[in-house]
Amino acid sequence: MHQYVIVDVFTTVALQGNPLAVFPDAVGIPAERMQLIAREMNLSETTFVLPARADGDRRVRIFTPINELPFAGHPVLGTAAVLAVSTEVDRLRLETAGGTIPVDFSHRSDRTVTAAMRQPIPVRESYARQGDLLDALGLESSTLPVDAYRNGPRHVYVGVESEAALGRVQPDLRTLARHPDMAAICFTRSGSSEGSGEHWRMRMFSPAYGVSEDAGTGSAAGPLAVHLARYGLVPFGTRIEIVQGVEMGRPSRMFARAEGNSSQLDTVEVEGSVVITAHGTLLA
Domains and CATH numbers, the chain: 2-121+273-282 (3.10.310.10), 123-266 (3.10.310.10)
Question: Left, alpha or beta for 153 (phi > 0: left; psi -120 to 50: alpha)?
Answer: beta
Rg of the chain over CA atoms, in angstroms?
18
Q: Which residues pair with 157 in a beta bridge?
A: 147, 185
Average pLDDT over every residue of 229-252: 97
| pLDDT classification of 215: cutoffs 50, 70, 90 | very high
In the predicted structure, residue 132 carries a pLDDT above the cut 90: yes
- For the annotated catalytic residues, the residue numbers are 45
CB atoms within 10 A of CB 138: 12
In the predicted structure, residue 15 carries a pLDDT above the cut 80: yes
Q: What is the pLDDT of residue 241?
A: 97
Burial, 191: exposed, middle or buried (Cβ in 10 Å; 0-12, 13-18, 19+)? exposed
The set of long-range contacts for 29-37, using a CB threshold of 8 Å and a minimum separation of 24, is: 29/2, 31/61, 31/68, 34/61, 34/63, 34/68, 35/63, 35/67, 35/68, 37/63, 37/282, 37/284
Tell me the whole-structure pTM to 2 decimals. 0.95
109 or 267, greater pLDDT? 267
| pLDDT classification of 110: cutoffs 50, 70, 90 | confident
The residue length of the chain stands at 284
Query: 154, 148 in Cβ contact below 8 A?
Result: yes
| pLDDT classification of 86: cutoffs 50, 70, 90 | confident
Q: What is the pLDDT of residue 196?
A: 56
Q: What is the pLDDT of residue 87?
A: 85
Q: What is the pLDDT of residue 60?
A: 98
Average pLDDT over every residue of 53-64: 97
Query: What percentage of the chain reaches a pLDDT higher than 70?
Result: 98
Q: Is 172 helix (H, G, I), strand (E, B) or coil?
A: coil
What is the rounded end-to-end Cα distance, in angstroms, of the chain? 7
